[in-house]
Chains A and B, each alone.
Chain A
Amino acid sequence: MIRILTTLALLAPTAALASEPLKTYHFQPTKALSTLGLIYTIAMVTLFLWVGWISQRRVATSDDYYTAGRGIGALSNGLAMTSNYMSLATFLGFTALLWKLQFLLVAFVMSWLSGFVLISVSVAPCLRRWGKFTSMQFIGERYGHTAKIISVLCMILLAQLYLVGQMKGVGNVFQVMFHWDYTTGLVVGGLVVTAYVTIGGMYGLSYNQTLQAIIMGIALFVPTVIILWKLDAGPASLFPPFGYSKLVPEMVAALPTYFDPFTTVAGKIPVSFKYYTGILLSLAMGTIGLPHIAMRYFTAPSVKEGKKATLWGIFFIGIVFFTTFAIGFAAKLYTTKVLNAQGLAIDPKEADLLVVVMSQAFTPSWVAALPIAGALAAGLSTIGGLLMVIGSGIGHDIYTTIVPNADDHKKVKMGLFFTAFGGIVTILLALRPPEFLLTSVIWAFVVSASTFTPVLILGIWWKGANRAGAISGMLVGGVLSVVLWWTKGNLFGYQFVNLGPLGHLVAAIFTASAAWFVTIVVSLVTGGEKNEKVLREVDRIHGWLDYSPERYNGKLFPVCCAALALALMVWSAMPPSAPEHARAEAPAPVVAQR
């Protein structure tokens, strides 16, 4: 409080500096912060390895290794879902994105939260009843081996889009906070997570993710309460998600566009209704298809427990997401009102460190070091979840396609090998990461929404969806996502997608709709699914003990979906409603790594 008041008291003399160019503020962690952060990190990493080690004793079968024996309770699973979803970039990057994008980031986050509910409503209960290990396996049994191979390849691409950015983030945290060499930090962090996931399988991953969610919650909540309190937010600061209303007038005075839903980047770029539609179709619908999110439902003891876990997940995710809004709000207010008035500006490259910058400025070192541990926990939990998906995707799904009669012991060994293999490859890729893997994590959601989501939803809710439809839909959606991303929305000289800020999002209106449309039309044209074994399975995964050919076989659902998809594709290709200058001013794709 004293520090902030002193700083504010200095505003008058420094106001004269406002007209001069701002000097760049460079963050330097204090020695106490680095030391305590390192102590927390070592303690935390030791705990994770120990949990991985003791979990190994529980792994006897492939069911144990890939799904933790389907015995993870609702609360623990809800925390693990939270942790799985909260990546390093959620923890640190959201504050940076809020700082840059303001209200638009809130829209993104609500869409991600929505994805969690939508997956639970539309596909997760049926996938859980179906009773295997991965969504790719479902696609394989529902649509055949070719579809499974395509889906595994899409999964590897998606996982790498996430993983490399996360691994790089872990290396960066070690580098900035502890002054380690980037490579050393990357290799140490990468090997730790690879070790505990490989050793402990899904048991180790689930228990560690539960722990990581608790660490993340504390590491974000405690500093935010102190920061808001010291900024004079009053007693409401005890509950940060809604604890900064008292500071709103100050923010509106300092930055009038902060809460504006129609513009972003300090009011410089308009945000259209079409753009918000792109958010829904990419982030929310993309989450439904993400294999590492669906994977958590396979570990639940029953469908009901899976749904209860989702409820816990929404609760905890909301707490963490909304607390990041609070700390992001405080960071924007602090940088706008205090630092800028002192003639200083945050280096945009260091915006990811705002949580730590704020913690160091307002809290004692033992609290300020908590976000360092929290950020690493967030990174490791997401990396762990993705490595498990790679391990099960290659080690189980592809291996059992090549060797259908493999014994259970061999399946566990293969999972173990490919989880470790995925970890090592990711560390190597992150040593010199390809640029496209770092700048396009949002693109992963577009790919997911355009490949996995349509075939999963249609495969569960429409018996007519068949192999030809699914393969065509995934190929068209996947290829369009890649090509339109690469050509910035242009195809054969025609602008199919009119990009805005983070243009990949809007691309989903066209690519995801195309995938839905093609899957349905090709399935209808080729006569729908004929294999009665598959059709009976569709009834079974909904809980029916008997079989009825009429169930989930109407034409209304697919025809409505196809019509809506076609309308969205046409709308996507129509000229933008936003002024031309808005697109010209759009920044280069912003890193939004989750």
Chain B
Amino acid sequence: MHRAYKKECMLTLVAFVVAAFLTHAYPLYFLFPGLTKIQMFGFPAHYFLTLVLGWVVLMPLYALYIHFSEKIDREIARTGAEQQAPVRRRAAGGEG
């Protein structure tokens, strides 16, 4: 199996889980109810974390996802082109 294929599946899975977690950080409050008692930048910590994780942190991570997914897409296109090249040469009457 191509490495690019595995990378694509892994990146998608990781990005999906990370995005879902960052925007649904609520299990943390059930695990650590103490978070609701402390303050961060003037807001209750759980409220602040909900907004920051789900938006401010999400944006650069999504930008990273774009970077890596584009890299994998290029690799996929390159792999496919390499696989098809000998076929094309044969079809054109080349040496292959």
Contacts and interface: CB of A to CB of B under 8 A. Distances in A.
A342 to B, nearest CB: 28
A125 B80 contact: no
Contacts of A242: 41, 43, 51
Contact of B16 (A118, A304, A307): A118
A314 B62 contact: yes
Interface string A354-374: 000000000000000000000
B96 interface: no
A284 B20 contact: yes
Given A259-B46, A273-B30, A543-B73, A113 B16 contact: no
Contact of B76 (A262, A311, A315, A544): A544
Given A242-B51, A248-B43, A311-B62, A107 B5 contact: no
A315 B62 CA distance: 11
B89 to A, nearest CB: 15
Which has the most chain A C-beta neighbours within 10 Å: B29, B81, B84?
B29
A303 B74 CA distance: 12
Nearest to B42: A245
B36 A260 contact: yes
29 contacts: A106-B51, A107-B24, A107-B26, A113-B55, A114-B19, A114-B22, A114-B24, A117-B23, A117-B58, A118-B16, A118-B20, A121-B15, A241-B51, A242-B51, A248-B44, A262-B29, A284-B24, A307-B65, A311-B62, A311-B63, A314-B58, A314-B59, A318-B55, A318-B59, A322-B51, A544-B79, A550-B1, A551-B1, A551-B2
A262 B2 CA distance: 47
A122 B16 contact: yes
Interface string A300-342: 0001100110110011001000100100000000000000000
A259 B47 CA distance: 7
Given A121-B12, A273-B26, A284-B24, A106 B70 contact: no
Task: Name the residue in A259, A279, A280 with the highest tally of chain B Cβ atoms < 10 Å from its Cβ.
Answer: A259
A525 interface: no
B29 A261 contact: yes
Nearest to B8: A542
A340 to B, nearest CB: 22
A69 to B, nearest CB: 23
Contacts of B20: 114, 118, 280, 284
**How many B residues touch the partner, as a band?**
35 or more
B54 A114 contact: yes
A314 to B, nearest CB: 6
SS class, residues of chain A in contact with chain B = helix
Interface in A112-166: 113-114, 117-118, 120-122, 125
Interface in A516-561: 542-546, 548, 550-551
Given A113-B55, A121-B15, A546 B24 contact: no
B16 A308 contact: no
Given A113-B23, A245-B42, A280-B24, A546 B84 contact: yes
Interface string B81-94: 10110000000000
Interface in A281-301: 284
A373 to B, nearest CB: 26
Nearest to B63: A311
A545 B19 contact: no
Contacts of B9: 461
B83 to A, nearest CB: 4
Nearest to A314: B59
Given A273-B30, A304-B70, A542-B8, A117 B19 contact: yes
B65 to A, nearest CB: 7
Given A273-B26, A545-B81, A259 B55 contact: no
A241 B43 CA distance: 12
A85 to B, nearest CB: 14
Contacts of B44: 248, 259
Interface in B54-79: 54-55, 58-59, 62-63, 65-66, 69-70, 73, 76-77, 79
Given A107-B50, A118-B20, A261 B36 contact: yes
B36 A259 contact: yes
A276 interface: yes
A55 interface: no
A131 to B, nearest CB: 15
A108 to B, nearest CB: 11
Interface string A213-245: 000000000000000000000000000011001
A548 B55 CA distance: 38
A488 interface: no
Q: Which of B33, B46, B66 has the most CB of A within 10 A?
A: B66
A106 B47 contact: yes
A174 interface: no
